[in-house]
Chains A and B, each alone.
Chain A
């Protein structure tokens, strides 16, 4: 246990120099600079003059921006430089001022002051949270503040016009997307066999892309439709259900969501691929409902008797990675205090669109989904076995191994915080107008 005894406090001259340096650093960051705090202090020189404060209008940020606000501006500047178009200077400065003035929402560490360059430890007369080298702040603190900024930017977009349209469930959207954009084509091709692809989001996207490249039409009338229910691990089905709830405004963490399902002993209804298959079987007949489990696009094309080579799916077709979903979840938590309940799905949807359109995915970013935390592994495997048995008992043609349902997913047990922070920074930059929207190319990024 540490004693309160320590070195004496700072002199007035030291305090003046510290404040002058902090102001200069803030100005450097607002202009798009990215030098960390301690190297900036070293480069600035030993004894700046009395009128060393930046010239120009009085600073638009509060008297004491704390380390987290300043460090977030620096990380935004670093991230903006990775955009192919580069940051828009005026917009970046305005965004930086917004960040510097923004209190950190929610729970976490108290805002800490910048570390004193000569001696980072706090003097004996220091009160409050101890000073910190901002480059050492944990990602969680930067995420907390940036979530508040994202919420502000979303709210500034204005309330939705007209009654909010609640997003459909993941499986519902997939069912609908089978028809999306294909109405006219379906009319012309109604006598040709067509496919509707439903089921686990990521796996279904792969299959859909494969079929599109191999020739048969997607969608079409019910008379000739074959329904492909694509199944994946229970981990993936749960991740889809969680992501769907987040898009509806939920702020429940992944682990808590899985824990609640395990405590009830049931999968959420949106993960019920057996019910989905049964519903379509009632409409088109069980012989035209196929279950696809763990097949590569080439294997599936061969199994379905398709001649052409399937196409590899584009990243753009896939669902948001789990760390991007976590960005929406975090924003939902702050938006609960800002907007009416009925508007939350709109804001969540808007943020999802923005995230779907930014080049946040570096080559090293994990593309897989989430896995069920280890303490619930047994429950998930049992639920997977049960689903597999029901699908097998129903007699559908099965392409692949239904055992995939009970296998453990390959992703992490929770959204990785580093990638979540990167996605959050991208959302701030795009919403704040500091980088252009759309899909600018980045190293190894999306199209």
Chain B
């Protein structure tokens, strides 16, 4: 049975009754974290009025804080992350109530990084929150996420790496660092009381679409109906089999210095993947082969037993961490239907042509503005007096004449400049 992690401090309440608390939500990726962060960011002012601080002035502030904490390069974005963790921690320490910090890549933090993170909050009472989904759904989602970050490895290759118990490979190492729920809770929760560790399970398909939000709201101590979740715009929908295969082909062609990171983020990840390909819902969905499903079921049993043994607060039902039976046969994304992929390619080409046309229109408009500004400037110069024009000519000529430069310097000294 879940219990609220906090009572929210309201203006006018006795401060002593509500110690400073932090709800530190550290993952896992692909478990509704983006949705929760969007709700919190969109409603941050109203939440603060109710005593709950979401310390972020930009929607990706906690992401930057995580990059700062873990010294992670991220396609150039890390330049904006210098000092962000300490700034967020400072706001948490200064807030006389409950704060929420949330980003899913925090799951990856190593033990020394966790130590630094927890100590940065001073005397604040830390509650750890981890949202978790069954591995049979996490595995294809993580592979897809790899591809959205420019990787080109095939699905079978990905499965081989993550099922290798050595976890020596970079891909496997990252996957398990952010998806091994008992390990994440051990790293982050080793110094916290079990009652301060809250595991939120993601409902299985077919459950009420508001159930996950209700569970998160329960942990935050909020009435789920009182907060607007309809304005959430930053969705992270999944791609189908041919769409994912197409994305992998694109990556092969644009990597190796062909397409700079900022262009990849805008055109491939945003325009193609998020806004175009994810809207195609009729194609086969990504799943796992039957032998992998059986293996995830074994891991789930072991993980559930460990979580029960440790006595954490469970918000939801640990049974939801067991993989559900598949609702469609497995379709191998390494051997997609060529016709399906062609269809994806045609739609993608049209989308990018339209995008290029829109950018051309914008460039043309900017060009017209610039030409107008230049014409105005030239007109102003023509209307300027003879003395002004003479001075401009002298300044221009001084670039090639030491005598003029000396004379000009003397003139400026006389004018007190």
Contact = CB atoms under 8 A, between A and B. Distances in A.
Contacts of B50: none
Interface in A87-124: 101-111, 122
A109 B116 CA distance: 20
A441 interface: no
B47 interface: no
A127 interface: yes
Contacts of B275: none
Interface in A111-154: 111, 122, 125, 127-130, 148
A251 interface: yes
Contacts of B206: none
Nearest to A64: B111
A256 B256 contact: yes
B73 A259 contact: no
A127 B180 contact: yes
Interface in B105-124: 108, 110-113, 115-116
Interface stretch (A14-22, A279-287, A337-345, A431-439): A337-345
B78 interface: yes
A339 B67 CA distance: 14
Given A105-B71, A258-B257, A334-B71, A128 B110 contact: no
B71 A259 contact: no
B110 A127 contact: no
A129 B176 contact: yes
Interface in B59-76: 67-68, 70-73
B110 A1 contact: no
Nearest to B113: A103
B177 A110 contact: yes
Given A101-B112, A259-B258, A336 B73 contact: yes
B192 to A, nearest CB: 15
A206 B81 CA distance: 44
A102 B112 contact: yes
Interface string A28-64: 0000000000000000000000000000000000101
A260 interface: yes
A130 B167 contact: yes
Given A103-B113, A127-B180, A2 B173 contact: no
B57 interface: no
B166 interface: yes
A130 B182 contact: no
A2 B294 CA distance: 12
Nearest to B305: A125
B302 interface: yes
B116 A103 contact: yes
A104 B110 contact: yes
Nearest to B115: A62
A3 B292 CA distance: 11
Nearest to B170: A108
Nearest to A5: B298
A263 interface: yes
Contact of A106 (B72, B79, B177): B72
A339 B81 CA distance: 11
B82 interface: yes
A109 B257 contact: no
Contacts of A334: 71
Interface residues of B, number: 44
A334 to B, nearest CB: 6
Interface string A313-349: 0000000000000000000011011111100000000
Contacts of A340: 82
Contact of B183 (A102, A128, A338): A128
A130 B182 CA distance: 14
Contacts of A263: 256-258
B123 to A, nearest CB: 21
A262 interface: yes
Contacts of A148: 71
B257 A108 contact: no
A262 B256 CA distance: 10
A251 B75 CA distance: 11
Given A107-B174, A129-B167, A255-B256, A337 B71 contact: yes
A107 B71 CA distance: 9
Contacts of B187: 128
B173 A256 contact: no
Interface string B161-183: 00111111010011011001011
Contacts of A256: 256-257
A336 B256 contact: no
A257 interface: yes
A110 B176 contact: yes
A103 B258 contact: no
Contacts of B177: 110, 129
Given A1-B291, A127-B306, A337-B81, A110 B173 contact: yes
Nearest to B186: A127
A103 B257 contact: no
B250 interface: no
A66 B115 CA distance: 14
B352 interface: no
A89 B299 CA distance: 48
A357 B413 CA distance: 48
Contacts of A129: 167, 173, 176-177
Given A127-B183, A128-B186, A336 B112 contact: no
Q: Which 9 A/B pairs are nearest by Cβ-Cβ distance?
A: A259-B257, A105-B71, A260-B257, A103-B112, A259-B256, A128-B183, A127-B183, A109-B173, A2-B165
Interface of B: 67-68, 70-73, 78-79, 81-82, 108, 110-113, 115-116, 163-168, 170, 173-174, 176-177, 180, 182-183, 186-187, 256-258, 260, 291-292, 295, 298-299, 302, 306
Given A1-B291, A103-B111, A127-B306, 12 more contacts: A62-B111, A62-B115, A103-B110, A110-B110, A110-B173, A127-B180, A130-B166, A130-B167, A256-B257, A260-B260, A337-B71, A339-B82
26 contacts: A1-B163, A2-B165, A3-B298, A62-B111, A102-B112, A103-B110, A103-B111, A103-B113, A103-B116, A106-B71, A109-B167, A110-B177, A127-B180, A127-B182, A129-B173, A129-B177, A148-B71, A257-B257, A258-B257, A259-B257, A263-B258, A336-B82, A337-B67, A337-B68, A337-B73, A339-B82
